[in-house]
Structure 1
Amino acid sequence: MKRARAGWNGAVLVCGKCSRKLDGGFGAKGRSRLAKALRQCAGLGKGRKASVGVIETKCLGLCPKHAVTVVDTRRPGEWLVVEPGEDVAALAARFASPVR
């Protein structure tokens, strides 16, 4: 088995099914999917060198109406339901900060 290094301190799992149902709703113009908008935020970094990885998954099983389910792997007991138009920069800052 080979290993690849990543500078991640954790990962953020974004439900792809929820994102697909909304068809955007995030970012500067409100047209981006949540995972893409989070990756573009300053402070998280990019790719394997990021402080926190952002991964769009299949269905997470919690299906809120008109919102996206998000899980921070550093806080597995606390799932977030993010509605379109919420401040993505504030959400990214939450994930970039160390867990207490």
Structure 2
Amino acid sequence: MKTKIRSNWSHAILVCRKCSKKNLKRGGGYGPKGRPLAKALKAETGAKRGRKAPLGIVEVSCLGVCPDRGVVVVDSRSPGQWQIVLPDADIRELARQLEDLSSPARAGGSLTRP
């Protein structure tokens, strides 16, 4: 039995599932189609499911710190800085920053407002 499995992920993006779905019910979806944040990021980055994708976008249970209408995103390259993404955020810019392999994603600023 294998005890280790190789993955192509360069890093993982953790997205609060509960608050993303709550915003969707309020009419605050993400991206042009108004999807939950994780699905919008997967569509924008072209990330596929599973271990063969270049990066992992994973919905996690509630992190307990999401503000009203915001969703917390954690980049595994900089776990000490959590990002808050609002429904009016520029998903293309956010996806570009999160999939950039050369440097950790920046917190604040252009991530929360277009």
TM-score range, shorter chain: 0.7 to 0.9
2:30 counterpart (22, 26, 30) = 26
**1:1-100 equivalences in 2 (<5 Å):** 2=2, 3-23=4-24, 24-30=28-34, 32-42=35-45, 44-47=46-49, 48-98=51-101, 99=103
Q: Which has the higher contact order (CA 8 A, sep 6+)?
A: 1
What TM-score comes out, normalization by structure 2 length?
0.77
Deviation per CA, 1:46-89: give whole Å up to 9, x if none: 22222210000001121211111100011001100000021111
> 1 CA distance for matches of 2:64 and 2:79?
14
Please identify which structure carries the higher strand content.
1
Across the aligned residues of Structure 1 and Structure 2, the Cα RMSD in angstroms comes to: 1.6
Percent identity over the alignment is 47
8 Å Cα contact 1:52/1:95 also seen in 2:
no
Per the TM alignment, residue 20 of structure 1 is displaced from its structure 2 partner at its CA by: 1.8
Deviation per CA, 1:1-45: give whole Å up to 9, x if none: 533322001100000111121015112132x00000001113x53
What TM-score comes out, normalization by structure 1 length?
0.87
> For structure 1, which runs of at least 5 residues remain unmatched after alignment?
none
Residues matched between the structures, number: 98
Structure 1 residue runs of 4+, over 3 Å off?
none
